[in-house]
Amino acid sequence: MNIIIATIKEWHIENAKRFQETYAGSYNVELITNPKELTEQSVIKTTPDWIFFPHWSWKIPASIYLAYRCVVFHITDLPYGRGGSPLQNLIVRGHQETKISAIRVVEEMDAGPIYLKKPLSLLGTAEEIFRRASHIIFQEMIPMIIQNPIIPKEQEGAPTYFKRRTQAQSSIEECQTLDKLYDHIRMLDGEGYPPAFLETEEFIFEFTRASLKTGFIQADVKIKKKTEQEGERM
């Protein structure tokens, strides 16, 4: 069996390499970490039985998802929460747990039939949650999909949609309680995400590694002089 795993996040790459080692005698597993490498020509060379996308921020060409079984992993209980920034949108809405949905790629984003779902806790920082999800994807979900003849089922119920969050929404100005402020900091505390920040006329304060204590929050703070470009963006 030939398998392609396409991802860009450090935690997924680490687990993909472990997956390669674990199944070296059973499957041929190719890893793609650069979107420029995901082309029809490169995929044809592998002739994959499966292509898995644990985290992929680019549109998958129709020539690929129509010709091969392509599976993406979305951390909402689909059809609830289709769209961008699912982790942050879940936490903002007060969710403490969710499900990882493994779905077949179709033209409409996050609308494909579902192979299976697995529960996921939303406690901890964004990076801790993503690493937890990655472990579930590689240790449980991908093996189940490739080792069992699962027929994906169409999504049931009316879909709800999330909008991709903007960098300006990382500001903590609208957080009115310590609980909301803590959630705001932790949900942005991960590789590739703009951290929670507070802006003054001259400085930007960025917050990470937050801990919620009794009556206060303890966090790391990075203070930097605001540039003209950052002032325009914020």
Q: Which amino acid is at 102?
A: A
pLDDT at 234 over 80: no
For the chain, give the percent of residues with pLDDT over 70. Answer: 97
pLDDT score of 57: 84
pLDDT score of 231: 55
**For 160-189, what is each residue's pLDDT tens digit?**
999 999 999 999 999 999 999 999 999 999
Q: 40-44, 63-67, 97-101, 142-146 — which is least confidently predicted?
A: 40-44
pLDDT at 55 over 90: no
Mean pLDDT of the 89-118 span: 97
* Domains of the chain as residue ranges with CATH: 2-162 (3.40.50.170), 167-233 (3.10.25.20)
pLDDT at 227 over 90: no
Q: What is the pTM of this model?
A: 0.91
**For 9-38, what is each residue's pLDDT tens digit?**
999 999 999 999 999 989 999 999 999 999
Mean pLDDT of the 129-141 span: 97
pLDDT score of 192: 84
**Which band of pLDDT confidence, cut at 50, 70 and 90, is reported for residue 230?**
low
Rounded distance between C-alpha atoms, residue 154 and residue 161, angstroms: 17
pLDDT score of 191: 86
Rounded distance between C-alpha atoms, residue 68 and residue 5, angstroms: 13
Name the residue with higher pLDDT: 229 or 160: 160
